[in-house]
Amino acid sequence: MSSFNLLRLMPSSSILHRPRTLPDKDHGSEEREHRRITLVAAIIYHVKSCAGQVFDKRGQQVMMTPKGLAYDRRRMLVRTDDLKMLTQRDNGCEILALVQTAIRNGMLVLNAPHMPELEIPLQKPEGLPLETKVGKKDTATVIADAPEASAWFTSYLGQDCLLVHEDERAYGKHAWHRTGQNASLADGSAALGVSAETVEEDLAAHMRAEGDEPLEVSDVRPNLVFRGGGKFAEYGMDRIQIDDAELLGVGPSPRCKMTIVDQKKGTRSRKKALKIITNVYPNGKGEGVVGENFLVDVPGIIRIGSDVLVRQEKPKPYAWMR
């Protein structure tokens, strides 16, 4: 079965099982041992920094590949002149938050305000490899995508740019990544997971106390959303299993200045949010963290509504998480 077919809406045919608890735990509460954690959403960002395609209906299934969710951040934008990566962090590019992406009939469909709908082939294009940078230190080779897509984004952003597709990239920035492991065009790990309670309950309370409108879970741009484990549950996940896939938790995710972009308006109007996160969820390096980075140890199909089995726990790294 093709990866595309694995994105179809399909009812789950399996009975959900209660997560296994680990023996001889020396951290966490007994109450947490009896909590059932479920996967309530998976989000695929077909183009880096654009809006994601949300799968949040019970039984929907997606493929977790060695690089992360199938099609997740396999494409990104670069400047035409120097091939520098363009994201919502760059001036004028915050409106990428309003670009809707989805798969339809084997095509990648793009929609944005005041722009015509565009469809381009989903598969990797052919062409000569170009070298660019991803994040601060990693390099990647990419291939220019359909010319009409680059023209579409150039018109939308008002600056010359190319839509490119990944070719080859090996992690280099983060010590937790496996040496030479091939990766998508994401800044960090293969997937970002977050407990809904972390954002909806704890962070929301801090933001209300500061007189700011709470962020929604989608505002932190996760790939996987968990529910049932309580706030900060994600930070204690060392190895998890979701259906056929197994993932390794490799550390909390620092928040960058994309946090100040209102993902519904495409404006930089959430500056207070980043300040609050930095103050209440510090990592000791002058950054705030939300969500856990994961690597994929065993790829496979995952389904919305399935249990998140915590096969191995780890101590949470910061006192405020415990």
Domains of the chain: residue spans and CATH: 5-315 (2.40.33.20)
Cα 249 to Cα 60: distance, rounded to the nearest angstrom: 24
Q: What residues of the chain score a pLDDT lower than 50?
A: 1-32, 175
**pLDDT of amino acid 30:** 43
DSSP string for residues in 114-145: TS--EEEESSPPPS-EEEEEETTTEEEEEEE-
**How many CA atoms does the CB half-sphere of 156 hold within 13 Å?**
29
